Amino acid sequence: MRLKALLEAPIEQAVFLLSMRAHRASKTSDLSHRPATFSLAAYSDWRTSGLRRNYDVFFGPEYVKAKRVFDFGCGGGELSLLALQYGATSVIGSDLNERFIQEAQKRIHGASNLEFKLETDDTQISLPDSGVDVILCFDVVEHIMAYQQIFREWRRILAPGGRILIWWSVWWHPYGHHLQAMMPLPWIHAVMSDDAMLRVAARIYDRPEFKPRFWHFDDQGQRVENPYRNAPFRNLNKLTIAGFEKAIAQAGLKAARRDLIPFSGSPRPLKQWLAHSPLRDFFCACVIYELIAS
């Protein structure tokens, strides 16, 4: 253990120094200072536009029109509202985060075919068998800790002929560590342990240069005690593409469609090749799935 700490120490210090450069007023970037991370309302607006763009690009209104839709991991309900706008007959959104569900419920505005549910069990979905035609899961797969159980639940609640639509950034995505607001550096999770990343994040959190995000405050608006110190690395399951496909097969699902989307920019042919190479997990901007019952 001591040898491991000695080996990690130079990497931790380098990541800390490089990260702190990004937190100086003259060096801020969208990764380190995205406006949407400082306000729940701004985050909702940013997420709404992002979800709409991704849904429209990779799927479209026809997938949900006249369908019973379930928005798994609905957050503030942004995608649920889009499905309703696109003609879904009913939409149910669920999430484990009470704060998000409270925000989502403010958006119902009397709609009788829109419902948001707070789930308290991360292994079950409180819906009946074959009760939905379409399941939406956008920007959520990496946070499903009990994924084997949840994938079986998806299969259980999906009606015959139903579809599961997924937009997902995999674990080995450059910022799959989800700590870019603290450490806006790509692939640090490929060279650092979870504990090392959390130690660096804890040091940054205590620096006066660091501006806390909306999730660093409690419901009373008070900044929380350092959430990265002596904390486990939680809420990320580290699923790879191969691991995901093995798990859905075991749950009785299969991919009717899988699109590996490379990063934008040039040289495009090289990025296309990398996104379909054995190192695909590292070079996919996102992965699109359309699942059906096997």
- Domain residue extents for the chain: 2-33+177-216, 40-172+237-293
d(CA 142, CA 288): 13
Query: What are the backbone angles phi and psi of residue 14, rounded to the nearest 5°?
Result: -65, -45
d(CA 262, CA 244): 19
In the three-class reduction of DSSP (H, G, I as helix; E, B as strand; rest coil), residue 268 is classed as: helix
E strand map for the chain: 68-72, 90-95, 114-118, 132-138, 158-168, 253-262, 284-293
Q: Which fold has domain 40-172+237-293?
A: Rossmann fold (3.40.50)
* Position 1 pLDDT exceeds 60: no
d(CA 122, CA 157): 15
Neighbours of 163 (CB within 10 A): 22
* Position 265 pLDDT exceeds 80: no
Tokens of 33: 């200072």
The CA distances from residue 201 to 12, 20, 94, in Å, are 10, 10, 30
Beta bridge pairs of residue 260? 287
Residues 2 and 157: beta-carbon distance below 8 Å? no
> With bands split at pLDDT 50, 70 and 90, how would you rate the model's confidence at 108?
very high
> With bands split at pLDDT 50, 70 and 90, how would you rate the model's confidence at 28?
low
Query: Which pLDDT does position 27 carry in this prediction?
Result: 62
* Position 212 pLDDT exceeds 60: yes
Query: What are the backbone angles phi and psi of residue 165, rounded to the nearest 5°?
Result: -110, 125
Handedness of CA 245, 88, 73, 139 (dihedral sign): positive
Between 30 and 19, the more confident residue is 19
What single-letter amino acid sits at 124? Answer: Q
Which pLDDT tens digit goes with each residue over 129-141? 999 999 999 999 9
In the three-class reduction of DSSP (H, G, I as helix; E, B as strand; rest coil), residue 223 is classed as: strand
Residue 57 burial (CB < 10 Å; 0-12/13-18/19+)? exposed
